Structure 1
Amino acid sequence: MGNALFMVWRESVEAILVISILHAWIRARGDAQIGVRHLWAGVGGGLVLAGLLALAMLGVHGWLAADALDLFQTAIMLVAAGLITHMVLWMRSHGRHMKGELEAGLARAAETAGGASVAVLAAIAVGREGAETVLFLYGLAMEQSGATLAQMFAGAGIGFVLALATAWLIQGGARWLPSRVFFRATEIMLLLLAAALLVSGVERLIDLEWLPPLVEPVWDSSLLLDDASTTGGIAAAFAGYRAQPSLMVLVAWFGYWALVMCLGRTQRRT
């Protein structure tokens, strides 16, 4: 539930902030050619795109055979981990100037495309965040069933409500929740979630014998923190902790963080 709540919260905040910037730009422009109707048309289009992606994945889920389905679900986990990481790195480099870049791009596009430019940009923003959310929830749902699956969707709904409140606070300029602090704190959580998805994907590939475990287990820390316990389960879900990890899982986990640090340093230099 916690993972779904956090992911939907963060993804929804980004989409809502983009929509808020577009809405403010439309009102400030006061141009009859570009109205709020174009904005909501784009939002609707983005939601339709995300919904179609969800339906497509459900269709594939019902069509594939057992082994192929396992591979498909594993691929979704790995893709979701990659998308989350890309989103964090993109926001780190563009988030500070997002408002100015959006407004400048809109001013140029409005001269040629009019209201369609707002609709397309809103559709892209909502569709992108919606697609990432769908992929993440699908990957997360592969390890849930019954009551825990219902809790996951309940957490997703709560996350969306919290996102509305968070976006309102950020847009209102609340001093105790500046956007820079919000995005810096949540990007760490997102990277931890991506690492957890990567670990789950690697373990599935080991079970399918697509990857060797190398050494299994490297250690056993169950006495200190069992990943089957409540606290250990939270650490496993949010950060990829394993009480009895294989060497391949450790290589993937440490390799992921080494790659993130390397990309972050390259990003700061450029």
Structure 2
Amino acid sequence: MLVPFLIMLREGLEAALIVGIIASYLKQTGRGAWMPAVWIGILLATTLALLVGAGLQFASAEFPQREQELFEAFVGLVAVGVLTWMVFWMRRAARGMRQALTGALDDAFASGRGHSLALIGMVFLAVAREGLESVFFLLAVFQQSAGSAAPLGALLGILASVAVGLAIYRGSLRLNLAHFFRLTGLFILLVAAGLLAGAVRALHEAGLWNHAQQVLFDLGGRLPLDSPLGAVFSGVFGYQPAPTLGEAVVYVGYLLITLLAFFRPAPARAATPQADAR
């Protein structure tokens, strides 16, 4: 439950921040009458994400065993790519997000026509991107977990993100977003490493990857998957009591590469001529 909760909290908060910036800018500039266009964009994007998720889930249920393993591996690899991109995109784009969005809004209203379509499109693309990212992640998590805990965690994460987004928009909550996204970004990279190892395992079960299958160690007797701690480690970090060499290599290798990039200091921005002249 913890993993889908935190992921959906982050994904939902990213979408809420973007929508909140647009909504507050419309209010500040006396364009509050255009808020229905914002809600239409949110509704369309949410509908698209739900339809894509339901379609993929129903389609995978009809696959034979080998194809199901291939589909699980494919979804896992896509989820790893999406989660990794999400972490580094937010790290890079968070600082200039408000200026970019308000500038795009000014351009849309300055065009003199198509205000509603432009506004709907902006909100739709922002929310749909977060929604489709969430679809692939949740499919990967649901395939590696059983029961209702994961869907319940995802739902609670969405509700929590909406509540936090509304509180930030109304000014009743002061959240250090830089620290929040940094901590959740680190957590997401650990989750993605587990998903990548799971995708390698699914490829082996599908018969496409039969290399480096020697078991490194077996903790099944000390920390089985059906124990409370084992279940937590499995859901959060992708823990397996008897990992193979291939799974361990991709897990550790992914973390080494991404963590080095994650903790590398951001390059300093070049000074503009206007700043030099001051």
Distance (whole Å) between structure 2 residues aligned to residue 144 and residue 249 of structure 1: 18
Is 178-187 or 237-246 further displaced after alignment?
Answer: 237-246
Q: Does 1:165 align with 2:166?
A: no
Report the equivalent of 1:144: 145
Moved more, 87-96 or 252-261: 252-261
* Aligned-partner Cα distance in 2 for 1:219–1:55: 38
After superposition, the C-alpha distances for 1:102-125 in whole angstroms (9 at most, x for unaligned) are 111221233234222221111111
The corresponding residue for 2:200 is 202
Shift of 1:258: 2.7
- The CA deviation at 1:48 is 1.8
| Distance of 2:196 and 2:265 partners within structure 1 | 22
- How many residue pairs get aligned? The number is 265
The aligned counterpart of 2:19 is: 19
Equivalent position of 1:91 in the other structure: 90
Normalized against structure 2, the TM-score is what?
A: 0.86
Displacement of 1:262 in angstroms is: 5.0
In the superposition, relative to structure 1, how do residues 233 and 55 fare at CA in structure 2: closer, same or farther (>3 Å)? closer
* The structure with more helix, counted as a fraction of residues: 1
Query: Does structure 1 residue 261 correspond to structure 2 residue 259?
Result: yes
Matches within 5 A, 1:110-189: 110-112=109-111, 113-145=114-146, 148=147, 150-171=148-169, 172=171, 174-175=173-174, 177-189=175-187
Query: Structure 1: 5+ residue runs without aligned partners?
Result: none
Decide whether aligned partners of structure 1 residues 48 and 41 sit closer, same or farther in structure 2, where only a CA change above 3 A counts: same
* Structure 2 counterpart of 1:72, one-letter code: F
Q: Distance in 1 between matches of 2:88 and 2:22?
A: 23
| Aligned amino acid, residue 54 of structure 1 | G
Give the CA deviation at 1:227. 4.0
Query: Could you tell me whether the CA contact under 8 Å between 1:212 and 1:248 is conserved in 2?
Result: no
Letter of the 2:244 counterpart: S
Contact 2:67/2:206, CA 8 A, preserved across alignment: no
1:222-261 correspondence runs (5 A): 222=220, 225-261=223-259
Contact conserved, 1:8 with 1:133, CA < 8 A, in 2? yes
Which amino acid letter does the alignment assign opposite residue 176 of structure 2? P
The code of the aligned residue for 1:252 comes to V
1:195: how far off? 1.3
TM-aligned CA distance change 1:102 to 1:56, over 3 Å: same
Q: Is the 8 A contact 1:170 1:178 kept in 2?
A: no
Residue 24 of structure 1, CA deviation = 0.7
| Secondary structure of 2:95 counterpart | helix
Deviations 1:26-69 (A, max 9, x none): 1122248x700111111111112112212321342244333223
Aligned counterparts, 1:22-61, within 5 A = 22-31=22-31, 35-61=34-60
Query: SS of the counterpart of 2:212?
Result: coil
If you compute each CA radius of gyration, which structure gives the higher value, 1 or 2?
2
1:105 equivalent in alignment to 2:104? yes
In the alignment, the residues of structure 2 paired with residue 151 and residue 241 of structure 1 have an alpha-carbon distance, to the nearest angstrom, of 18
User: Which residue of the partner structure matches residue 191 of structure 1?
Assistant: 189
Distance verdict in 2 for CA 1:124–1:267, change over 3 Å: farther
- Contact 1:42-1:120 within 8 A present in 2 as well: yes
Q: For residue 216 of structure 2, give the secondary structure of its aligned residue in structure 1.
A: coil
CA contact (8 A) 2:57 2:139 kept: no
- Which residue pairs with 2:272 in the alignment? none
2:240 & 2:63 partners in 1: Cα distance? 30
